[in-house]
Homo-oligomer: A and B are copies of this chain.
Amino acid sequence: MKIAVAQLNFHVGNFESNTKKIIKCIAEAKTQQVDLIVFSELAICGYPPRDFLEFDDFVEKCMASIHEVAKVSEGISVIVGGPSKNDTGKGKSLFNSAFVITNQKIEKVIHKTLLPTYDVFDEYRYFEPNRSFDVVRVAGKKVGVAICEDLWNVGDNPLYTKTPAIELKNKGAELIVNISASPFSYNQDFERKKVLGENTNKTGLPIVYCNNVGAQTELIFDGGSFFMNADGTVASQEEFFKEGILVSDFDGSSFEKESVKTGSKIELIHDAIVLGIQDYFKKLNFQKAIVGLSGGIDSAVTFALAARALGSENVFGVLMPSQFSSEHSIADAKKLAENIRAPFEVIPIEDIYHAYEGKLHPMFKDLPFGLAEENLQARTRGVLLMAISNKFGHIVLNTSNKSEAAVGYGTLYGDMCGGLSVLGDVYKTEVFDLARFINKYAEVIPENTIIKPPSAELRPDQKDSDSLPDYMVLDKVLFEYIENRRGPRELVKMGVDENLVKRVLKMVNVNEYKRYQTPPILRVSPKAFGMGRRLPIVAKYLA
């Protein structure tokens, strides 16, 4: 039995393009005498469709596309994800389903049992869970179909009471097919192989794992689909971050052994972000990005990643020095643009700053230079970037990192502006790792940008360390608080100074209002700011 896993990059709501892709893959699979071709979760509409699912018109378009796919499936079996209507009159109005099609006929519609409703997932908002199990016969084999999270309980996940793999095994399944839309984070491939290995361990059944690839705004899907044998070893694996069809012969008990992919944490993050930028532009039909270059490391890494994603000719750097910008900042930023061979422009902001100052003077009188004046510079830069963006149709890329976003070290509508945040889920210490990774074979990011002490340069001789703890310390506390959700007492118990804990947690909590208005952030960690972390603004907790 020949099985193909189609790892494709879908576009939410773009039925025409999604259906065309699926149909093209089916045709190709037929030329390779494939018996069964598998597409990812909610492939037909793209994942996540979010509240579009509340529109009947949207759901009807999904069904129409499924029927188009069915039409071309003579002589082959197809498993494809899409929403289906819950006609029982009980519960949510939809199921998250796998359509099993053979010879132009929808043989079975199998629904997702375990509906993740945590972090970035809202599935219980839309879907009713499946409660009964059955297998489906494909090319003479009994196949158990599971949808993504369905395999994330092997009896030990307290969130769930059902264990789909075991239910399917009990129904006589000889093989499990899992269709997924499992978003990337730097440890996700490891986690997936671990939990699917536990499934094979419990059931003795091999698994066909088909994942989505491509980015939808903040969520990046890394692909890495694979065939897993009953002993928990991965027989073969599709590339990460790329579309492709992976084909394997299943001899009834195991898959052919081929190569398996891996990547270092920083390499995976790098590739994920590059794809995240690419898809944001491609799916919104934009070509060019504009980045404000300060000579600092965040804007440099953002610019370099954008150049890799879009091509050097499609990124445009703007240096906007003020009276507080140091000579080396301008030199470093220029050097970066030259290294990348990207166009850049210098727009000094001093005159505009003075124009503001003049108009505000009647109100500000002789009040000392302070935060208002610092932010004014950052916002003047934001306005310039947005003006160029509006004039030429470029998208501004935001350059804030996760450490800054966490503690509110940034100016709303200033350096926090942009269509997409490239590094908003990358801690400052990891930004340095990314810079080194980018420079692996040649200097892209000027060495001086990497070694000099970070500074916002919004007043004379300013350093980040004037107002923030050392990033090595800060990032550790932030990671424990944000990713691991440790409270103040636990952090102190871990050896962090009590006053530092108080200070950092307060900074994080009182700056929720800033993060609320931040651009969408490419998610690369298990806990990113944005839809995966939902906190109140007016709260008074650790604040």
Interface residues of chain A, those whose CB is within 8 Å of chain B, are 11-14, 17, 46, 48-52, 54-58, 89-93, 117-118, 122, 124-125, 158-161, 215-217, 279-280, 283-284, 345, 347-349, 351-352, 354-356, 358-360, 362-364, 367, 370-373, 375-376, 379-380, 382-384, 386-388, 390-391, 412-413, 417, 419, 485, 487-490, 513, 516-520, 531, 533-543
From residue A281, how far is it (CB to closest CB) to chain B in Å? 9
Q: How far is the CA of A461 from the CA of B5 in the complex (A)?
A: 59
- Residues in B neighbouring A13, C-beta threshold 8 A: 536, 539-543
**B391 in contact with A489 (CB, 8 Å):** no
A13-B539, A345-B362, A516-B520 known, 7 other contacts, Cβ within 8 Å: A46-B539, A52-B541, A283-B540, A354-B355, A370-B390, A516-B519, A517-B519
Known: A360-B387, A539-B13. A351 touches B347 (CB 8 A): no
Cα A417 to Cα B124 in complex, Å, equals 33
What B residues does A358 contact at CB under 8 A?
Answer: 351
B48 lies within 8 A of A536 (CB): yes
Q: Which residues of B contact A279 (CB under 8 A)?
A: 538
**Which B-chain residue is minimally distant from A518 (CB atoms)?**
B517
Cβ–Cβ < 8 Å partners of A537 in chain B: 217, 284, 520
User: For residue A513, which residue of chain B has the nearest CB?
Assistant: B419
Cβ contact within 8 Å between A383 and B380: yes
Question: Residue A363 contacts which of B11, B345, B356, B487 (CB distance < 8 angstroms)?
Answer: B345
**Of B54, B124, B390, B542, which one neighbours A375 at CB under 8 angstroms?**
B390
Partner of A383, one of B52, B356, B364, B540: B356
Are A487's CB and B55's CB within 8 A?
A: yes
- Interface CB pairs A-B, < 8 A, 9: A11-B539, A14-B540, A50-B534, A217-B536, A347-B360, A360-B387, A360-B391, A364-B391, A383-B413
- For A384, the chain B residues whose CB sits under 8 A away are 356, 359-360
Whether A379 lies near B383 (C-beta < 8 A) is yes
Nearest chain-B residue to A56 (Cβ)? B487
Q: Given B124, B160, B351, which contacts A359 in the complex, CB threshold below 8 Å?
A: B351
Q: How far is the CA of A362 from the CA of B215 in the complex (A)?
A: 36
- Indicate if the CB atoms of A538 and B158 lie closer than 8 Å: no
CA distance A412 to B362 in the complex (A): 27
Complex CA–CA separation, A488 to B56 (angstroms): 10
A87 to chain B, nearest CB (A): 11
Q: How far is the CA of A414 from the CA of B18 in the complex (A)?
A: 37
Partner of A356, one of B89, B284, B387: B387
